[in-house]
Every structure is written in C-alpha cells, then in structure tokens.
C-alpha cells in the first residue's frame, strides 16, 4: 500500500508541474519573441526559425506580433537557403497583413527570393519575371517607402539581365547569318531596355546586320542614332564610316542575300 501511495504522489506531482510549465510559455509569448529576435541577430537562423514558429502558435492572428513572427519565419528560410519557401511566406505576409509595417518589406524580400533563383541571364528567366512583377507591385501598393526605393535598384539589375539575355539570343542568330531573326532581338533591347548597357552593343550589331543584308536606309538611321546618343561607343568610327550609305563599301564585296524574316524562337 505504501508503494502505491508513493507512485501516486509522483504521478500527481508530475501532472501538476507539466501543465504549469506549458501555461507559463503560452501566457508569455513576448519572452519567446525576445529570444527569437536575439537568436536571429546572432545569425542562429535554424533555432530562430523554431522560436518564431512557437510565437506563431502562441499569439492570435490579430496581434501585431503575428506579422513580425511570420515575416521573420520567412526571413529565416531565406537565410537558410530555402528561397522557394521564403518567397511564398513573404508573399503571404504582404497579403495577410497589408497594413502592417512588414508588408512592404515582405514584398521586397519576396522579389529578392525570386531574383536569387535566377542565377544567370542565360537560364530560364521565369524567376526573374516573377521578381520584376513583385517589385512593380511593391511600387504600386507602397509608393514612397524605403522598400519601394530599394526595389528600383533591383529592377535596374533585372533590366540589365533581360537585355543581356536578349543580346545573347540575338548573337545566336547573328553568328548563323540569320540576320532578320537577330534584328528582332537587337531591336527589342533598344525598345524595352533603353537605359541598359547593352543598347550601344545592340545598335552596333544592327549596323552589322543591316550592312550584311543591304538595308542602306536602316543602316544610315542606326548610325545617326549612335552618333547622336552614344558618340563614345567603342568601334563606332569603324562601323559607321562616312560612306555608310553604301552597305558594301566597307568590304568592297556584294552583300549576301537576306535570311528569310521570321519570329525566332528563344534559343
């Protein structure tokens, strides 16, 4: 009988202490939030993610701490290299807490997460297109914010990459003497990405293409644009000589027959 009393006492004591510790944690999410912030500042993103996840279950959706916890959950995923999850979670923060201070920053970071998944211009640009759309949405929804200003810098980088991708696609056809197909890409750079560093290169390649297929008027017009807007372009004098009206004058040979015009697929 004495043994059973001892066992019963131990069980009662364990039951009394277990729920008490749980109640203390649930009733004090601010302590957990402070711990999570400290872990994040120290760069311990794995443990910070666990702590922010606890906070998420300890506060109600209407409390301002919920937006913070959800934002930093996404940030931890980003820092740990899971950019796909981070992009989705940042998007949810912006959509579910549109009036919180974290909403514009979450849109910015959603764009950043997609941008990081487009590693080189020659790869599939879908993540870059998603990032661009997200940055543009940020500028439309939260104009004048610091996040929107930072997004402009990323938009500039994306435009440079898109222009570079089009230029490489154009050169793919140019080297194969499919000049009409190449021209489509070079013109797209000038029309769609006018402030990028590839514009002078695209104009020079247009000069080469027009000369090759005997388009004298287009050749003169392109050279005029180069002289007016990009006078310091390397190689301008050699490509646009004073007699650029004669497409065969630089080589003394007749121009080759033009390639058939078509809408080229992206290589």
Residue 172 belongs to a domain with what CATH number? 1.25.40.10
- Say yes or no: 41 and 123 in one domain: yes
Q: Is residue 10 assigned to a domain?
A: no
Q: Is the pLDDT of residue 259 over 60?
A: no
Alpha helices for 42-178 (secondary structure H): 45-58, 64-79, 83-96, 102-116, 126-141, 146-174
pTM score, whole prediction: 0.74
Q: Is residue 13 assigned to a domain?
A: no
- Distance separating alpha carbons of residues 68 and 51, to the nearest angstrom: 12
Q: Quick: pLDDT tens for 182-202.
A: 999 999 999 999 999 999 999
Q: Is residue 18 assigned to a domain?
A: no
- In angstroms, what CA-CA distances link 83 with 44, 51, 159, 189? 17, 20, 21, 29
Q: Which residues contact 111 (CB under 8 A, 6 or more apart)?
A: 131, 132, 134, 135, 138, 151, 154
- Say yes or no: 137 and 179 in one domain: no
Nearest in space to 199 (alpha carbons), one of 185, 186, 212: 186
- Say yes or no: 96 and 189 in one domain: no
Instruction: Identify the domain boundary among 112, 143, 174.
Output: 143
Are the CB atoms for 169 and 187 separated by under 8 Å? no
- Say yes or no: 80 and 171 in one domain: no
Domain count, the chain: 2
- Say yes or no: 222 and 139 in one domain: no
pLDDT of the residue at 267: 58
- Say yes or no: 173 and 127 in one domain: no
Say which residue the tokens 């050279």 belong to.
Answer: 223
- For residue 215, the enclosing domain spans 164-267
User: What's the whole-number average pLDDT of the chain?
Assistant: 84
Q: Quick: pLDDT tens for 91-131.
A: 999 999 999 999 999 999 999 999 999 988 888 899 999 99
Q: Is residue 150 assigned to a domain?
A: no
- Say yes or no: 41 and 134 in one domain: yes
- Say yes or no: 73 and 133 in one domain: yes
- Say yes or no: 123 and 192 in one domain: no
């Amino acid at each position: 009988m004495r043994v059973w009393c001892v066992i019963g006492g131990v069980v009662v004591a364990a039951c009394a202490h277990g729920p008490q510790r749980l109640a203390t944690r649930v009733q004090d999410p601010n302590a957990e939030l402070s711990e999570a912030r400290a872990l994040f500042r120290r760069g311990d993103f794995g443990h910070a993610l666990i702590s922010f996840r606890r906070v998420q279950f300890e506060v109600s959706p209407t409390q301002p701490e919920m937006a913070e916890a959800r934002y930093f959950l996404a940030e931890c995923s980003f820092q740990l290299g899971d950019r796909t999850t981070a992009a989705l979670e940042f998007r949810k923060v912006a959509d579910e807490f549109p009036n919180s201070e974290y909403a514009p920053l979450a849109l910015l970071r959603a764009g950043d997460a997609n941008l990081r998944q487009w590693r080189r211009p020659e790869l599939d640009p879908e993540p870059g297109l998603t990032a661009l759309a997200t940055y543009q949405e940020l500028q439309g929804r939260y104009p004048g914010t610091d996040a929107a200003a930072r997004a402009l810098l990323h938009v500039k980088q994306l435009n440079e990459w898109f222009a570079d991708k089009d230029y490489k696609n154009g050169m793919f056809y140019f080297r194969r003497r499919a000049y009409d197909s190449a021209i489509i890409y070079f013109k797209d750079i000038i029309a769609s990405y006018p402030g990028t560093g590839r514009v002078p290169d695209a104009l020079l390649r247009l000069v080469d293409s027009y000369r090759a297929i005997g388009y004298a008027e287009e050749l003169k017009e392109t050279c005029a644009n180069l002289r007016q807007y990009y006078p310091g372009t390397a190689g301008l004098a050699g490509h646009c000589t004073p007699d650029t009206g004669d497409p065969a004058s630089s080589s003394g040979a007749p121009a080759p027959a033009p390639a058939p015009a078509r809408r080229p697929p992206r290589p």
